Structure 1
Amino acid sequence: MNRRRLLLLLPLGFLLVALFFYQRLQHDPSARDSALMAREFPVFEATTLRDANRHVDQTLLQDDVTLVNVWGEWCPACKQEMPQLLELAEHGIRMVGVNYRDTREKGMSFLNEYGDPFTVNIFDPEGSLGFDLGVYGAPETFLVDADGIIRYHHKGYISPEDVTERILPEVAKWR
């Protein structure tokens, strides 16, 4: 008798598991908050894209509000957002790039073709800094305050509307 009840409950259990997974599919993963919000930018040491002999670390992000943009030559959305990043640089916003999972040659070629709004580009060929930031795909942008604390995380492409509706107000809040 107990075996028969167990067999009757099996489809119900399967249905509950299926409903759980279906419900999880309804959530947009890009809407998640960064686990690093209101925390210090991760400790790192890396070379710059332009100069393999120049080493930088997280102190690069202190003393001024900085947008840190994770990008790669292989990323189509990174090419699309470059005009917006150039516009933000024209507004006097300090930007640091993280050239993510790329080669120096491809990264430099990208900047030569699409422009370079960054004061410095951190070279992250293995993606270790990206991993520490929780990056799951380029482009991603982090606003870091003058104390080196992450205050805002923008997932994905920065559209022209994002510049005026999200990025500029966040920068103004932390300046």
Structure 2
Amino acid sequence: MQRLRLFIPLLMFVALGLLLGRGLQLDPQALPSAMVDQAFPQFSLTALGTDESLSREALLGAPALLNVWASWCPSCRVEHPYLQRIADLGVPLFGLNYKDRGEDALAWLGQLGNPYRLNIADVDGTLGLDLGVYGAPETYVLDAQGVIRYRHVGVVNEQVWTQTLQPLLLQLGWREN
């Protein structure tokens, strides 16, 4: 029994090593989403900077991207010029301004440009909670009926666009201008 006690620290070290080794093999960008292949949640929020009421129906009609962003998000600033390029291709791009102050978000868009067809003001994060948002930026691919087909966590860049988002949109029927 005394000898067995000597091996307990070694066994714990091996078990911890196996757990950490498994963790290193996981992709930190691959966060599961229960919303993929589900209808975009119903909501009633206002458009950023206005009193105009928006609902799920505003997102329907064509394959589109919905980008979760905020003025306080440094990664959102990095991806913003690329989102403008995507919007210039004719991609319907909707914004979900997440847990942000309206005046800060409007100033940010005034300074950097506004690639979004419309911006949903999610001040309290209720729609983000319904979507399962971990944080900004996140980008969702929606089909014409408003079903979420894919979720990307992190910055959208050339690689993400050409290898993932553009092929999905083309498969859903989007056509470049």
On the 8 A contact 1:49/1:104 being kept in 2, the answer is yes
Equivalent residue in structure 2 for 1:140, among 138, 141, 157: 138
Q: Counterparts in 2 of 1:150-161, with a 5 A limit?
A: 150-161=148-159
Output one character per residue of 1:65-118: Cα deviation in whole Å (capped at 9) or x when no partner: 120000010111111111211111111111110001110011001110111111
Q: Percent identity?
A: 38
In structure 1, what is the Cα distance between the partners aligned to 2:7 and 2:164? 50
Structure 1 pair 24–54 and aligned structure 2 pair: CA distance change class (3 A):
farther
The residue type equivalent to 1:150 in the other structure is I
Compute the displacement of 1:139 (Å). 0.8
Secondary structure of the residue aligned to 1:30 is coil
Which stretch of structure 1 is more off in the superposition, 90-99 or 17-26?
17-26
SS in 2 for 1:157: coil
Aligned to 2:161: 163
Deviations 1:124-149 (A, max 9, x none): 11222122222212111001101111
Cα drift, residue 123 of structure 1: 0.6
Name the counterpart of 2:39.
40
> For residue 124 of structure 2, what is the aligned residue in structure 1?
126
For 1:78, the equivalent position in structure 2 comes to: 76
Cα distance, 1:46–1:24 mapped onto 2, change above 3 Å: farther
Query: Once structures 1 and 2 are overlaid, which stretch shifts more, 23-32 or 8-17?
Result: 8-17
Distance 1:153 1:122, change over 3 A: same
**Residue ranges of structure 2 left out of the alignment (5+ in a row):** none
**RMSD of equivalent CA atoms:** 2.0
Using structure 1 for the length normalisation, give the TM-score.
Answer: 0.87
User: In the alignment, what sits opposite 1:58?
Assistant: 56
Q: Mean alpha-carbon deviation: is it higher for 32-41 or for 92-101?
A: 32-41
Residue type of the alignment partner of 1:96: F
Secondary structure, aligned partner of 1:60: helix
The count of corresponding residues between Structure 1 and Structure 2 is 172
Contact 1:84 1:163 in 2 (8 A): no
Scaled by the length of structure 2, the TM-score of the pair is 0.86
8 Å contact from structure 2 (residues 49, 103) kept in 1: no
Letter in 2 for 1:60: A
1:12: how far off? 5.8
Higher mean displacement: 123-132 or 7-16: 7-16
1:43 & 1:13 partners in 2: Cα distance? 51
Task: Confirm whether residue 92 of structure 1 aligns to residue 71 of structure 2.
Answer: no
1:28, CA displacement in angstroms? 2.6
| Structure 1 match to 2:27 | 28
CA contact (8 A) 1:101 1:126 kept: yes
Cα 1:29/1:131, change in 2 over 3 Å? farther
CA distance 1:20–1:136, change in 2 (3 Å): farther
Task: Give deviations 1:147-170, integer Å, cap 9, x for gaps.
Answer: 111112111101123222322211
